[in-house]
Chain A
Amino acid sequence: QMQLQESGPGLVKPSETLSLTCTVSGGSISSNSYYWGWIRQPPGKRLEWIASIFHRGSTYYNPSLKNRVTISEDTSKNQFSLKVFSVTAADTAVYYCVRRPLILHGGAFDIWGQGTRVTVSS
């Protein structure tokens, strides 16, 4: 059973860079069957897709965040990562890493990490 686990700092200062990593177990991120991505949920707000990556580096970004985020993969560690630059209080959220099948499940997000809470505050 594939599992995803987020890691990263719980507190980031305004204007700094938030870095999160998702470690995948029970399967390979090099698979051609899945996208890997990040979704966040600010307090009291709806879920927001941030970015996705497909093996060999094809990346996709939410246009509203595209200029401030980067998603990348490290196949040697079976991990993928997210960086959010110049964070503000609006970036405070629970961040989830997710799997999205290329074909199966209608492209829905079928596996989620447990989530990691990030607070932006000085």
Chain B
Amino acid sequence: EIVLTQSPGTLSLSPGERATLSCRASQTVSSSYLAWYQQKPGQAPRLLIYGASTRASGIPDRFSGSGSGTDFTLTISRLEPEDFAVYYCQHGTFGQGTKVEI
């Protein structure tokens, strides 16, 4: 089973700053099936990125994904107040999440 490990566990930033979230797979995975989700308290996860780098419908362009092989990155170029949430990567299984907090 592929294990996804996200880092850091918590990222403390301010609005306007850049956020860089990492997702590392225990073995090489296909980037075609690597996705990122955002979850706010009390809400269901929302698909942000699929295919490692393609934004889902309606997702602002400040969100971008990159990577291949075992290492993937979600970047939020300029944090907006509504971006403070937990982010999960997924390839079959899910990572444990990175919390982006103020």
Contact = CB atoms under 8 A, between A and B. Distances in A.
Interface of A: 46-49, 96, 105-110, 112-115
A47 B54 contact: no
A114 B44 contact: yes
Contact of A112 (B44, B93, B94): B44
A65 B95 CA distance: 19
Interface of B: 32-35, 37, 43-47, 50-51, 54, 56, 88, 90, 92-97
Decide if the interface of chain B is mainly helix, strand, loop or mixed.
Answer: mixed
23 contacts: A46-B88, A46-B94, A46-B97, A47-B94, A48-B94, A49-B93, A49-B94, A96-B45, A105-B35, A105-B47, A105-B51, A106-B51, A108-B33, A108-B56, A108-B90, A109-B35, A109-B47, A109-B90, A110-B47, A110-B56, A112-B44, A112-B46, A114-B43
B45 A47 contact: yes
A42 to B, nearest CB: 12
Contacts of B97: 46
A46 B47 contact: no
B70 to A, nearest CB: 17
A112 B96 CA distance: 19
B1 to A, nearest CB: 8
